[in-house]
Amino acid sequence: MVKDFPLLALEKLMKRAGADRVSLSATKEMRILAGDIAEKLAKNAVEMAHHAKRVTVKKEDILLASK
């Protein structure tokens, strides 16, 4: 899961958030944490879909899981 997020994309994200410079170690740590958060969100969204008796995860499942 960790290698799913490209480092350059995460570095750009942090720069858009206001960082002037971002170290490689910070970008790698961001990749790990973003992966963990995305995995938890996905699991919650799947639970929402199953609760609604669906196998397809929809946008509203993601939105509910993020709350």
Q: 10-residue block means of pLDDT along the chain (67 residues)?
A: 80 96 96 93 97 96 95
pTM for this predicted structure: 0.80
Q: In Å, how far are 20, 27, 38, 39 from 48, measured between CA atoms?
A: 39, 31, 15, 14
Contacts of 43 (CB under 8 A, 6+ apart): none
Q: In the CATH scheme, what architecture does the domain 2-12+23-65 have?
A: Orthogonal Bundle (1.10)
Question: Do the beta carbons of residue 34 and residue 13 sit within 8 Å?
Answer: no
Tell me, what's the pLDDT at 1?
53
Given this model, what pLDDT does residue 4 score? Answer: 79
Q: Which of 24, 59, 23, 28 is nearest to 41 (CA)?
A: 59
